[in-house]
Amino acid sequence: MNKKIMVLGSINVDTTYHVQRFPQPGETIAAGSKSSAPGGKGANQAVAAARSGAQTSFIGMVGADNEGKFMREALQEDHIDTRFVGIDELHGTGTALVTLDSNGQNDIMVYGGANQAMTTDVLNGTSEAFEGVDFLISQFETPQPVTAEAFRIAKEHGVTTILNPAPAHDILPEVLKYTDVIAPNDSESYGLTGIKITDEDSMLKTAEWFKQKGINYLLITLGSKGAFYSTPKAHGLVPAFKVKAVDTTAAGDTFIGALASQLDNDLSNVADALVYAQRASSLTVQKMGAMPSIPTGEEVKAALAK
């Protein structure tokens, strides 16, 4: 049966400048081209889950502007329930300025706008919507007090919560209290724990650090080295798929959304779900743009079958 996933998070319109290399401080360089696409960590994760077959709903905010209308329609095109995407009359829709070099690496500057102005009021009337939801996902492009309250409501309804602590910030204790699964990348993990990821021992120490905080399920993405997982019953490293990256934007978001679409409710199939998520992410980096590059479940399964 298809998973029922709710995402609380950011909605951005991404504008990408394509350059040969990043500019030095004080330097002006020419961009070869410019493109715009729907994005935002939350929106990307929701689309990744939906395209992999999950019944997906979204909690977020946009501005009362053309970008907001564009983003709501973009989510609806992927059959995502946008009933709880509110409209902020005072702040514009979030935007991201992406600089993309010829190696597929990016620098991103984000204007939070309506995302950062979000309050717990956005959760008014959502309680019934949590009924039957398997997983609630959130990130750090929206205020943590909203995530804390959403996670608290989720736990009342027996929903498993997944925290993607990106971009890296200190985590409010009340967010940690209601987090079941935490999924940072290696640099975010280091920022949170102070433990540098260098080998299996450092990963196990990181898992122990989070267990002390009450989180028993840890997933760390390690780029080309794959993904590490630690659960109460097992730990291991799932290798990455070797591909030539064109644009790494949304790779991590695709990973999270695709993963949630495949996880069993008891999280017993983490290793298999990670293989699927890694494959989905490897397809994303081979295309341009955030949301447009996210693969469908059929594309991921076809790639896995090769």
- The reply, when asked if residue 205 is annotated as ligand binding, is no
Q: If you average pLDDT over residues 24-49, what whole number do you get?
A: 94
Question: What is the Cα–Cα distance from 258 to 54, expressed in whole angstroms?
Answer: 9
- The reply, when asked if residue 69 is annotated as ligand binding, is no
Domain boundaries defined on the chain: 4-24+31-305
Quick one: residue 171, left, alpha or beta (phi over 0 = left, psi -120 to 50 = alpha)?
beta
Q: How many CA atoms lie within 13 A of 224 on its CB side?
A: 4
Does pLDDT of 152 surpass 90? Answer: yes
4-24+31-305 belongs to CATH 3.30.43.10: no
Confidence of residue 176 (pLDDT cuts 50, 70, 90): very high
- The reply, when asked if residue 39 is annotated as ligand binding, is no
Residues serving a catalytic function are: 253
Does pLDDT of 37 surpass 90? Answer: no
Does pLDDT of 117 surpass 80? Answer: yes
Helix H or strand E segment including 179? none
Does pLDDT of 138 surpass 80? Answer: yes
Confidence of residue 250 (pLDDT cuts 50, 70, 90): confident
| In the chain, % of residues over pLDDT 90 | 85
Does pLDDT of 103 surpass 90? Answer: no
Does pLDDT of 1 surpass 90? Answer: no
> So what's the pLDDT on residue 106?
86
- The reply, when asked if residue 104 is annotated as ligand binding, is no
10 Å CB burial of residue 271 (0-12, 13-18, 19+) is middle
Quick one: residue 119, left, alpha or beta (phi over 0 = left, psi -120 to 50 = alpha)?
beta
Question: What is the Cα–Cα distance from 210 to 206, expressed in whole angstroms?
Answer: 6
Taking each helix axis as running N to C, give the angle between helix 41-51 and helix 66-77, from 0 to 180 degrees, rounded to the nearest 10: 20
- Write the pLDDT tens digit of every residue in 272-300: 999 999 999 999 999 987 888 999 999 99
Average pLDDT, rounded, for the chain: 94
The secondary structure of 278-306 as a DSSP string is: HHHHHHHTTSSSSGGGPPPHHHHHHHHH-
Answer for the pair 88, 114: CB distance below 8 angstroms, yes or no: yes
> So what's the pLDDT on residue 171?
93
Write down how long the chain is.
306
Answer for the pair 251, 278: CB distance below 8 angstroms, yes or no: no
> So what's the pLDDT on residue 246?
84
Does pLDDT of 143 surpass 80? Answer: yes
- Write the pLDDT tens digit of every residue in 185-242: 999 999 999 999 999 999 999 999 999 999 999 999 998 899 999 999 999 999 999 9
Question: What is the Cα–Cα distance from 215 to 177, expressed in whole angstroms?
Answer: 8
Does pLDDT of 249 surpass 80? Answer: no
| DSSP H helices in the chain | 41-51, 66-77, 144-156, 173-177, 186-193, 200-212, 251-262, 270-284, 297-305
